[in-house]
Amino acid sequence: MPQYLTPGVYVEELLAGTRPIEGVGTNVAAFVGALDNADAPTGVPTAVNNWTQYTNLFASEGPSSALTLAVHGFFLNGGQRCYVLNVGPGGSLTGTPSKPGISALEHIDEIAIVGAPGFTDAASYDAVLSHCELMKDRVAVLDAPAAVGDLNDLTKPATASSSSSSAAASSSGDAGEAADGGAESPPAAATPRRGSSGGGAAPRQSEWGAVYFPWIRVTDPLTGKIVDAPPSGHVAGVWARTDGSRGVHKAPANETVRGALDLTYPLTPSEQGLLNTSGINAIRNINGSIKIWGARTLAGSASEWRYLPVRRLFAFAEESIQQGTGWVVFEPNDRTLWNAIRRDIRAFLRRLWRDGALFGATEREAFFVKCDEETNPQEDIDAGIVTALVGMAPVKPAEFIVFKVSQYAAGGAGGEEAQ
């Protein structure tokens, strides 16, 4: 409290009104891979803001690696900023004491998308998903294997034995080089075959990841040749582009994949139906345009987190609220504080609702914030805990469009009068 000892006029500034909660970024990606370039930074996440900066730091002469193709596809599709983590030749995503792996990304808060282009073995899948599950502020974008023996393999999680063959090819990180083979024409399509044996080829279930199939054919930015590329970098760019133009609540689907010239395997609608129920997002040729045609996570069709935009919206809201309410720590835990918490969070959610991220005709239908005596009993107050309960009604993508059409007898009953 100020002391007034000398007669006079005193002017004091008082804090009033809401403390705005700013939304965190959702379009910064991180790519982990292996490069043979001895001059490239190794083991340290490096921020890259454009393709030219990447080539100056990482790219070398010769066919592009999977990591290089992914970063090029990210910027081509609308990405503006990413981190590149080179684990070095023969490196792994889990890392070693001398060569840090994906854990090196843990101290970077702005990352919201994580990919490991070309790594399609069970251990790599688990490393990326475990990292995102630990951080809870980022979502993994994963590549399905370049070639699978049977489409049914993509409906079952991979195991160490079933993915041993793909691990050897993936660990080098040179998917583009292997696909190119030095030829001017693209390689034969990686066509799934019937009657294969062995385990599955898909990542394990997780609400913090999404996987895409098949691989795409692109132009190698370093050689100009047509090569097969893992789609994760291009897909991450589409995520970033959609976030910027529509918002994180918009499903990054029905969007054209820039730079994709063809697919290694053209899926039919019935084949996509098989994969969609297992959370495998398809990339398809729709009316002559290569588009992402799925927006599901790996959580499973029965999970409330099965839709990618819902998972990413809640991650965005949770981190925004966490960072925007830091001023609450060590404040007196009383009704004044509870009212301020409700006011600030409601103002943030109100903006989300007006942007179309929350479902409901009114604020009451779209969200609620409860912070009062009921959520803060005396025993919690004595323990130094303040609790606010927040509920949101997210919008969900219109995945299945159904028009029911029937014959209509002119002048008959049952039909709505034309306006």
Per-residue model confidence (pLDDT) at position 411: 64
- What is the DSSP track for 113-131? EEE-TT--SHHHHHHHHHH
So what's the pLDDT on residue 198? 47
Looking at residue 313, what is its pLDDT? 98
- pLDDT at position 39: 86
- Indicate the pTM of the whole model: 0.89
Q: Given this model, what pLDDT does residue 167 score?
A: 44
Task: Name residue 290's beta-bridge partners.
Answer: 285
Residue (of 32, 264, 54, 36) closest to 172 by Cα position: 36
* CA–CA separation, 283 and 228 (whole Å): 14
* Torsion, Cα of 365, 312, 235, 59 (10° steps): 150
Q: Give average pLDDT by consecutive 10-residue segment, the chain, 419 residues.
A: 86 80 96 89 94 91 91 97 92 79 94 97 96 97 92 91 50 43 38 45 96 98 96 98 97 97 95 93 96 96 95 97 95 96 96 97 97 97 97 94 88 55
Give bridge partners of residue 228 from the DSSP assignment: 217
CATH architecture of 29-310: 3-Layer(aba) Sandwich (3.40)
* Per-residue confidence (pLDDT) for residue 182, from 0 to 100: 37
Tell me the three state secondary structure of residue 292. Answer: strand
Q: Report pLDDT for 372.
A: 97
Q: What tokens were used for 15?
A: 């804090």
- Domains of the chain, by residue range, sit at 1-21+336-419, 29-310
Looking at residue 409, what is its pLDDT? Answer: 82
Residue 199 CA to residue 125 CA, distance in Å, equals 15
Report the C-alpha dihedral over residues 301, 191, 213, 30, rounded to 10 degrees.
140
